Amino acid sequence: MATEYVIVGAGSAGCAMAYRLAEAGRSVTVIEFGGTDAGPFIQMPGALSYPMNMPMYDWGFQTEPEPHLGGRVLATPRGKVIGGSSSINGMVYVRGHARDFDHWSEQGAQGWAYADVLPYFRRMENWHGETGDKSFRGSDGPLHITRGPRSNPLFNAFVEAGRQAGYPVTADYNGQQQEGFGAMEATIWQGTRWSAANAYLKPAIKTGRVKVEKGFARRIVIENGRATGVEIEQRGQVVVIPATREVILAASSINSPKLLLLSGIGPAAHLAEHGIPLVADRPGVGQNLQDHLELYLQFAASQPVTLYKYWNLWGKAMVGAQWLLTRKGIGASNQFEACAFIRSKAGVDYPDIQYHFLPIAVRYDGKAAAEGHGFQTHTGPMRSPSRGSVSLRSGDPKAPPKILFNYMSHEQDWDDFRRCIRLTREIIGQDAFKPYYKSEIQPGVNLQSDDELNGFIREHVESAYHPCGTCRMGRADDRMAVVDPETRVIGVEGLRLADSSIFPRVTNGNLNGPSIMTGEKAADHILGRVPLAPSNQEPWINPNWQTSQR
């Protein structure tokens, strides 16, 4: 029996759409190349450094040599598993700032301002926070959101140091006031990773209206200007999964543009170069690629209060065993339990720097805990002016796409990062850290001048894994827009796209929250429903933003 809707990609947005379409009585087939998310490496929050580095769960994309980073090639992980990147990410939950969505609306994504998206964030959330204004948050959605226990004294030292440095403390950065220091939120529930698969896809499959087809999507089948199905490779055979109503792409900001290009939707010259027949000339497909970069600023601790004591075979085995038996302990947290959003300078109206605080000094890939006991902040600017692209390497669907972020291509990027380093040093230098601080591991106190810091940034900056923007949403008459505000691909009937690739500009913080929200809102457009009524709640903006940095 033919299915009404075919969704490509069982990731954050795809799972949310499958759930809402099934709830409305529709039949859905979700195409996913990755396999099951069962097993401790994905489900145990404390093991987050593993799945991202496992070829079984990750597409294994890499950038082209980045010209402004001395030719470095950076990893671009994307989830290849049920739940997509929500099954391999750091589980940090950030909605984004109200102003981010207002900016989307100003860029032509009408109906996606903060007032419009807040009701969707509320619909999706089941919030378990202990402080903050409940009216900004949801309490009965599929997505559980919790805060870590913050029992390690370093978490409170970080928030207190921010207060001592003159920054606000916020009760809930996902509520009325993002700006300030406070507890970080996570998609963790009862000690388990609460991915989009756990929250949305598994309940949707139970309705009997959603089935998952394992296969490699090759292209969208388009007949007479209308999408009618998806061509996939399955067990060595090429088959077509037909859709009687619509095909919906939700394959990530890397794979969604790649699939459009392979299907003849994109810049005409680029498609001609690869011998792909043109269906719709959309020059914006694959352009406008954005990300967040971050530095791990590391400090040695004067007391053995960090997680380093577990950083050995015996310690990891103990943490794992406790988690397997009780779903409690160190393994039940992603260890990102405190954070901050601050403004880099006076005249910036809302935060443009994010901090994740971690009570161990270690690399994201889990390698080499730096010289014993230590702690670190992950920090970086939120709104880089640099833009890159995703393009085809060849017309072969199996070939990985060409990814060039063009990181750090603006002078502003360098200035922003130097500010991040200097502001961080000032925060860590507050009295709250006196009992714990021993020395600066990296960059190291000997690096002070702009040139010295630039050298450190060039060698050590890492992706925060927030790629987006490659099929941006805008007005239907905007040549560079790929989807309209109802997530319809412009120039093709029966085809939609809803995932982080439609973001006009990257939001503040981590992208899992806004990606799920995108799927939630898109589902209403797909169903032809009147969107949820706009909210009239006002976000907090620092009243002195024009004259002071904090």
Query: Catalytic site residues?
Result: 466
What distance separates the 2 farthest-apart alpha carbons in the chain? 70
Q: How far is CA 117 from the centre of its chain?
A: 17
C-alpha 496/C-alpha 522 separation (Å) is 9
Structure tokens at 413: 């990027």
Q: How many CB atoms lie within 10 A of CB 176?
A: 17
Q: Which residues contact 273 (CB under 8 A, 6 or more apart)?
A: none
Kindly tell me the sign of the dihedral angle through the C-alpha atoms of 269, 273, 275, 276.
Answer: negative
Partners of 402 in beta bridges: 391
Structure tokens at 233: 């490779």
Q: Is 550 exposed, middle or buried (0-12, 13-18, 19+ CB in 10 A)?
A: middle
Please provide the distance, in angstroms rounded to a whole number, between the alpha carbons at the two ends of the chain: 60
Partners of 497 in beta bridges: 249
Q: Which of 247, 209, 244, 208 is nearest to 28 (CA)?
A: 209
Per DSSP (E only), the strands in 359-443 are: 374-381, 389-391, 402-404, 437-442
3-state secondary structure of 200: helix
